[in-house]
Structure 1
Amino acid sequence: MTYHEIEKQAVNIISSHRTGILSSVEDNKPHSRYMTFYNKGLTLYTPTQMDTEKIEEIEKNPYVSVLLGYEEKGQSDAYVEISGTSAINDSKTLKKQFWDESFNQWFNGPEDPNYVFLQIQPEVVRILNMEGEQTQELSLKN
């Protein structure tokens, strides 16, 4: 597969799966939790509260890992593994674009200052478990 074919396949998997696992580092150990993800291309955004431990973890160590996919058929599902860095993004445009009424249980609307996104900039993207194909990898490091 070419770089652009791998990128297109990865974006397709990411865009088709909103629930995934975000792993950050806490006390030099992995800390994983399920999150909701949105994307613009390969860049991921996950809503969170500003006053959570994951924000503290990201501020201490910005490196994260994300798993998306592997939800429907089990062992034969392709999935994406992303390694990269995360930063807080409180863009009003982003907050309005991805606002969902289900967020009302945590936030007082899209203007709530506690409502922010973790923006994940991939460094390595791997597509795994594609039938008949080996793992595909994109390296996006500068």
Structure 2
Amino acid sequence: MTNQDIKNQAIKIISGHRTGILSSVENNKPHSRYMTYYNDDLTLYTPTQMDTEKIEEIEKNPYVAVLLGYEEKGQSDTYIEITGKSAINNTETLKKQFWDDSFQEWFEGPEDPNYVYLQITPEVVRILNMHGEPPQELSLENE
């Protein structure tokens, strides 16, 4: 597979799976939780509250890992592993672009100052369990 093929396949997987696992670092140990994801190309966005422990974790150590896919029985599901750097993004444009009425359980609306996104810029993207093929890796650290 070429790098462009890997990128295209990765975007297809990301775009088809909104729920995945976010792992950050808490006290030098992994801390994982399920999150909802949106994407623009390979960049991921996940909504969160500004006053959560994950924000504190990201501020101390911005490196994260994300797993998406692997939702059926798991044995034959292709999935993606992304490692990268996370930052807080609270731009009004982004908050309105990805706003969903289901968020009203946690936020007053797109203008709520506690409503922010973690923006995850990938450094390495790995596609795994592709029908017997070896894992495919795309390194973006130098881009």
- Whether these two folds match at TM > 0.5 is yes
Cα distance per residue 1:63-102 (max 9 Å; x no partner)? 0000000002421000000000000000111100100000
Cα distance per residue 1:3-57 (max 9 Å; x no partner)? 1000000000000000000000000000000000000010000000000000000
Identity of aligned residues (%): 79
Unaligned runs of 5+ in 1: none
Q: What does residue 20 of structure 2 align with?
A: 20
Alignment pair present for 1:70 and 2:70: yes
C-alpha distance in structure 1 between counterparts of 2:11 and 2:130, whole Å? 14
C-alpha distance in structure 2 between counterparts of 1:72 and 1:110, whole Å? 33
Which aligned pairs between 1:100-115 and structure 2 lie closer than 5 A?
Answer: 100-115=100-115
TM score, norm. by length of structure 1: 0.99
Runs of 4+ in 1 over 4 A off after TM superposition: none
C-alpha distance in structure 2 between counterparts of 1:124 and 1:43, whole Å? 12
Q: CA deviation at 1:132?
A: 2.5
Q: What does residue 32 of structure 1 align with?
A: 32
Matched AA of 2:49: Q
Q: What does residue 122 of structure 1 align with?
A: 122
Aligned-CA RMSD value:
0.6
Q: CA deviation at 1:110?
A: 0.4
C-alpha distance in structure 1 between counterparts of 2:88 and 2:108, whole Å? 19
Alignment pair present for 1:140 and 2:143: no
Q: What does residue 131 of structure 1 align with?
A: 131
